Structure 1
Amino acid sequence: MLITRKIMQYSLIGLVLIWVGCASPQESSSDFPLVEATIADIHAAMESGDVSAQYLVEGYLKRIEAYDKQGPSINSIIITNPEAISTAKYLDSVYAVSGMVGPLHGIPIIIKDNFDYFGLPTSNGTLALKESYPPNDAFQVKKLREAGAIVIAKSNLAEFASSGSFSVSSVLPGYSRNPYDTRRTTAGSSGGTGAAIAASLAVVGMGTDTGSSIRGPSSHQALVGIRSTMGLTSRDGIVPLALTNDIGGPMARTVEDAVRVFDVIAGYDEADSVTKASIENKEASYLPFLQADALEGKRIGVLHQLFPETESDSSVYSLMIDALEDFKKGGAILLDSVKINDLDSLNESGTRIRQLKRDYNAYLASLGDSSDYKSLQDIIDSDEYHPYLEKRLIDAQSEVDVPEDHPDWGKNMALRQVLRDRILEVMDSLNLDALIYPSFTYPPRLIGDLNGPRGDTSGKLSPPTGFPAIAVPMGYSYGKYPAGFQLLGRPFSEGLLFSISYGYEQLTKHRRAPDGFGEVF
């Protein structure tokens, strides 16, 4: 088995430090609660000597063992990291000598299995790539590890990150299940991450979003999920689906935890040219935006056209109306007279140009000798993928080699620009800070139901424009199924979106843990 260079270094240094008596891992209390623990909780406990990174990793691995394939069996984890405990021991030894190595010191994290991690396979949920070991970390993973985070597992996903309806792959038999009701879907390709973090199998998680798959699973599992402005976060080392839309980012139980991760992963990466835009636009830190009174005076446009009452589930609709009332109680100014003209036609009249062949072949080439498969056609020929994907893969393979050569590429890009212009015109004319709408207009569907109403709004504004959007919990339809809204902002307005989200979260405190996932001793 391959072992990461950094992990090997961590282990050896930690052993040397312990052997010479320079440092020893702190003893930690056995009653520190892992369920719903936040980064700030954990670091405070570390500073008081009540918890260690080793305790955290061992505890979350026990939770994975107890709840992922046993008990509720949410089936969210593809593989655990065999080096996680040795990494934790090293970090504890460093902490004893010189303190935290970074802002995520000792924080156990789960990443979706389309992020490259040197030392673990990156399958993208595809059986053909089950033994594909990338030559280095994805940029975001590298930044997380440098900040002291410990990747303890990789999560299940909709294979090829291709579905916003469910999370099932050929690597891990069976669907990932929603911990709030295991009969129901996790919502999309990052559903494994969503289920794992909702059930407190780690502190925070990483997902990817091409059409909805950070924000959708976050809303169906009472999490906060941020899809950044295109260009603020790197896509290097993330298995692509369509690079015009692909984004990676955090999924967390609180706004603050999402921000703490976002601070680490956002910024310029020379391997991804679009991130040049971040040099002038990234905030030094987004934490100062988290003020409890942040709703006061904020001007928010309500996009009723995305959730007409007659086309929404009554319980979800009521939650959205209640959320709007809460915004008013917090001092926000809501404007209902907001409409984006021709929104449906702008979303639907553009040809869906498949980019998978070009982007996926480039990713496979980046693996060098790490993969036996060199092209999308090789994957198709292998038959080592879930049957539901066959037509999609064949259709993608039949597409032009270079998407920009497609006869409708220019039309597609023009429609995207019109949509950007329309949104900004509306926001500027009304002096809006953000637009708001529910992530779904219906509760999570039963697993296997592909025909019932879903009401997913996530793909309509943020992915085609590249504008940022954040999903925030707004309560539970029928008292039990998580629901969330989204805030969409201008490019590089993440600080403002975090601010509004935090103000609402602190006012309402909707997040609660799912039943049946208590502490494991």
Structure 2
Amino acid sequence: MQAEQGVLATSKEFQILEASIIDLQAAMEKGIVTSVDLVKMYLDRIERYDKKGPSINAMIYLNSNAIGTATELDEERAEKGPRGPLHGIPVIVKDNYNTIDMPTTASSRVLKDSVPIEDSFMVAELRKAGAVIIGKSNMHEFAYGISTISSLGGQTFNPYALNRHPGGSSGGTGAAIAANFASFGLGTDTGCSIRNPSSYNSLVGLRATYGLTSRAGIIPISLTQDVGGPMARSVSDVAVVMDVLAGKFDPQDPATTHGLDKTPDSYADFLNVDGLKGARIGILKEYFGDHPECEPTNKVMYRAILDLEKQGASCLEIRIPNLSEADNSRIPEFEFETAINQYLESLGEGRSYNSLVEIIETGVCTPGILKHLTAAVGHTLEDPEYQEALVNRVRFRESVEELMDKFNLDAIMYPTFKSPPPLIGEEKWGFNNGGLSAYSGLPAISVPAGFTEDGLPIGMELAGRSFDERRLIELAYSYEQATHHRKPPQSTL
């Protein structure tokens, strides 16, 4: 494995800032810091920057047990050694992941007192690996939007430009990890909701192949399109987290049968600085915007193409004939009512609400969310239009992979979002490039590609074949190490 060569400074504050999981784990092994130190320092940053100072407003809940958990993990390390690479590492999870020690609300006042009876599968796996859940992040309410505003948490702000939003729906996680409130975070992606905030916050975000990670215990939108996964400041962090989360069977999520035997011994083995040598990258020009607002993003993308080629990749323009069919909104609209009702039932007898209709009747969600929730009522999984959409989705995925085979492509490249982070109150749905991966179920990784002349972060997305996350990680790592575009926001330094 070719790991990062970052060296921890003597200042503990600098050790936190931008340090990778590999660096933090090495520091704990050498006794330079403890898990308690890390948790306290991250909590101190949250105290200084989340509701004070720039007031990023990324956090919904803090875990009162975090320091106690870190203390126990430090003692365990001293007695038995670490459980693995996440032992003692602090993490923030999006507020739609079930946590037994904090409410899980989808950042809605409707569910503000809802504490689930068990952790989500992925949260349980993180705890088992020794990670410390230090808090939960704000999200676009019920994940129905891309600007991260909610009735419970209000508006989250982009730490790179406080008059702009952080993307969504995992924008709280994006802003928090960008601002160094934890080592890494978990988001969810139905249409673009890991990759969009990763792009807007100069992060790496991976939407894995459908079925590679479990969705059990996550407040859903879509039965067949939701995916949960990591958001981090480096590709190496994403690889380390995927080693803990990917390819594990969960009886509560039958889709995970598709991910069995689809993982390498370690994704971290693919942190190869020469990964782009000999690679063939298809440039999807259809996903480059032609609106004036897209020009700053396009400039960054054209530089990225040159950087890919400098590292030994061959870049060729491609066209996906049926790309316009990649509508990632229709299927979730049919599935949402069934999915949310099933989730509410899973909360047990103590639940406050039994159905989507009851949630809507409270009238407490933000107006924009109520519009989406109401539009989802009455759809059924037996609708012929829905059934046809499922068939067309399979055909679309097959056509994309056939095109990749035809041109012997390792990945397809395009801007994660056609335009830079918008001003508060705007969402720019028409500039969303999430559909290719979300609709097909194919994996995609967003990696920092640099900044506009105005200092706004831009992400480059690489989409690949089913269960070929290892190759995407290899390509993204090689690009990241050649360019080092990631920079922390000035507002939280």
The yes-or-no answer on 1:503 pairing with 2:478 is yes
- Aligned-partner Cα distance in 2 for 1:154–1:348: 26
Shift of 1:29: 7.5
Shift of 1:286: 0.5
- On the 8 A contact 1:290/1:498 being kept in 2, the answer is yes
Q: Give SS of 2:491's match.
A: coil
After TM superposition, list the pairs within 5 Å mapping 1:194-343 onto structure 2.
Answer: 194-267=174-247, 268-309=249-290, 313-336=294-317, 338-343=318-323
Q: Give SS of 1:484's match.
A: strand
After TM superposition, list the pairs within 5 Å mapping 1:451-462 onto structure 2.
Answer: 455-458=431-434, 460-462=435-437
Shift of 1:119: 1.6
Shift of 1:37: 1.5
- The CA deviation string for residues 336-373 of structure 1, in whole angstroms up to 9 with x for no partner, is 1x111132145399777421110001001111034211
Aligned residue for 2:71?
A: 89
- The CA deviation string for residues 263-308 of structure 1, in whole angstroms up to 9 with x for no partner, is 1111221221111111121222111111111100011101011115
- Aligned-partner Cα distance in 2 for 1:246–1:441: 22
- On the 8 A contact 1:137/1:237 being kept in 2, the answer is yes
Letter in 2 for 1:96: A
Q: Which moved more, 1:372-381 or 1:84-93?
A: 372-381
Shift of 1:419: 1.3
Q: Give SS of 2:424's match.
A: coil
Aligned residue for 1:464?
A: 439
After TM superposition, list the pairs within 5 Å mapping 1:42-191 onto structure 2.
Answer: 42-164=24-146, 166-172=147-153, 174-191=154-171
Aligned residue for 2:451?
A: 476
- The CA deviation string for residues 153-199 of structure 1, in whole angstroms up to 9 with x for no partner, is 000000001102x1011111x31000000100111110000000000
Match of 2:462 among 487, 493, 496: 487
Shift of 1:485: 1.0
In structure 2, the CA distance between the partners of 1:233 and 1:345, relative to structure 1 (3 Å rule), is closer
- Aligned-partner Cα distance in 2 for 1:196–1:141: 18
Aligned length: 483
The yes-or-no answer on 1:443 pairing with 2:420 is yes
Aligned residue for 1:415?
A: 392
- The CA deviation string for residues 48-94 of structure 1, in whole angstroms up to 9 with x for no partner, is 11100111111111111110000000100001000000001111111
Runs (5+) with no aligned partner, structure 1: 1-27
In structure 2, the CA distance between the partners of 1:348 and 1:135, relative to structure 1 (3 Å rule), is closer
Q: TM-score, normalised by structure 2?
A: 0.95
In structure 2, the CA distance between the partners of 1:302 and 1:148, relative to structure 1 (3 Å rule), is same
Letter in 2 for 1:486: E
- Aligned-partner Cα distance in 1 for 2:206–2:157: 22
- Aligned-partner Cα distance in 1 for 2:191–2:197: 12
Shift of 1:314: 1.9
- On the 8 A contact 1:346/1:415 being kept in 2, the answer is no
Q: Give SS of 1:250's match.
A: strand
The yes-or-no answer on 1:347 pairing with 2:347 is no
Letter in 1 for 2:19: A
- On the 8 A contact 1:269/1:275 being kept in 2, the answer is yes
Letter in 1 for 2:431: G
* Alignment RMSD (CA, Å): 1.7
Letter in 2 for 1:305: E
Whose Rg is larger? Answer: 1
Q: Which moved more, 1:80-89 or 1:300-309?
A: 300-309
- On the 8 A contact 2:225/2:332 being kept in 1, the answer is no
Q: Give SS of 2:389's match.
A: helix
Letter in 2 for 1:434: A
The yes-or-no answer on 1:513 pairing with 2:488 is yes
Q: TM-score, normalised by structure 1?
A: 0.90
- On the 8 A contact 1:32/1:51 being kept in 2, the answer is no
- On the 8 A contact 2:94/2:136 being kept in 1, the answer is yes
- Aligned-partner Cα distance in 2 for 1:227–1:349: 16
- On the 8 A contact 1:111/1:153 being kept in 2, the answer is yes
- On the 8 A contact 1:312/1:455 being kept in 2, the answer is no
Aligned residue for 1:15?
A: none
- Aligned-partner Cα distance in 1 for 2:314–2:410: 10
- On the 8 A contact 2:57/2:157 being kept in 1, the answer is yes
- Aligned-partner Cα distance in 2 for 1:262–1:230: 14
- Aligned-partner Cα distance in 2 for 1:176–1:76: 5
- Aligned-partner Cα distance in 1 for 2:15–2:476: 26
In structure 2, the CA distance between the partners of 1:240 and 1:310, relative to structure 1 (3 Å rule), is closer
Aligned residue for 2:337?
A: 357
Q: Which moved more, 1:287-296 or 1:267-276?
A: 267-276
- Aligned-partner Cα distance in 1 for 2:35–2:221: 35
Aligned residue for 2:4?
A: none
Shift of 1:456: 1.5
- Aligned-partner Cα distance in 1 for 2:242–2:156: 25
Letter in 2 for 1:503: S
In structure 2, the CA distance between the partners of 1:48 and 1:136, relative to structure 1 (3 Å rule), is same
- On the 8 A contact 1:442/1:454 being kept in 2, the answer is no
- Aligned-partner Cα distance in 2 for 1:266–1:159: 27
- The CA deviation string for residues 12-31 of structure 1, in whole angstroms up to 9 with x for no partner, is xxxxxxxxxxxxxxxx9855
Q: Give SS of 2:15's match.
A: coil
Runs (5+) with no aligned partner, structure 2: 1-9
- Aligned-partner Cα distance in 2 for 1:83–1:127: 23
Letter in 1 for 2:244: V
Shift of 1:379: 1.0
